[in-house]
Structure formats: C-alpha cells, structure tokens
Amino acid sequence: MRPLRALAHVRTGDKGDTSQVSVIAYDAADYPTLVRALTVERVRRHLSSLSVGSVQRYELPRLGALNFVLERALGGGVTRSVTLDAHGKTLGAQLLDLEIDDGTAG
C-alpha cells in the first residue's frame, strides 16, 4: 500500500459548486493501477467528510489520467462557501493521501 501521491499528481479546477480533479500518472505503466484503484465509490468514500453530491469519472488513457467531476462539492461555490479552502486544490491534495494497492507488496 502506498499513497496515491507516489504514483500520480493532480490538477484541479472549480466552477460554481462543481470541482474537477484530474489524477495523472507519473508513469504510463501505472495508469491501469489508477483505473483499478480509483473507483467512483472509493473516491466518494475518501471524501465522505465533505458533502459531495454526484461523482463522475472519465478515463483518459492516452493522457494516463482520470478526471473526476464532483458536483455540489464546494459548499455552494467558492465565493459562497463558509468553509475555509473548499476549493479543488484542497480536494486534490486530500485525494492524494488515499492509500492504494499498487501491486508491489511481496
């Protein structure tokens, strides 16, 4: 088990109350591990302390990336939220802490 940050980095964006988090493998060989480990349900559970609405996952194999669209994830929108740092950058950083099985355990 390793934190996701050992295999990938993230790019994020916010629009209204929706956040997008793209998880991008450092090495294309690790992309299948990301596809297997980062299911919609697993991402939703990992972010369960937040009141995220729907979560959609889009696979971008040629980029070695997964894009997650998180609806109702920003407390009404970045400019309306009363929570501190409820932006995509924070969600991306939290997601990078997720422990995943990368198949390297003996």
- The parent domain of residue 39 ranges over 2-100
Which residue in the block uniquely carries the two structure tokens 């988090």?
A: 21
Question: Is residue 61 in a domain?
Answer: yes
Taking the model in full, what pTM does it have?
Answer: 0.79
pLDDT single digits (tens) 38-87: 999 998 888 776 766 788 999 999 999 999 998 766 655 555 555 544 55
Q: Is 92 helix (H, G, I), strand (E, B) or coil?
A: helix
106 domain-assigned: no
pLDDT score at 92? 73
Question: Which residues are within 8 A (CB) of 64 and not within 5 positions of it... i.e. 6 or more apart?
Answer: 24, 25, 27, 28, 30, 31, 34
Which is nearest to 59 in space by CA: 44, 78, 39, 89?
A: 39
CA dihedral 29, 46, 55, 74 (to 10 degrees): -120
User: Does residue 38 lie in a domain region?
Assistant: yes
**pLDDT score of 84:** 47
**CATH code of the domain in which 82 resides:** 3.30.70
**Structure token digits, residue 102:** 């990368």
Within 8 A by CB and 6+ apart from 20, the residues are 12, 13, 14, 67, 68, 69, 70, 88
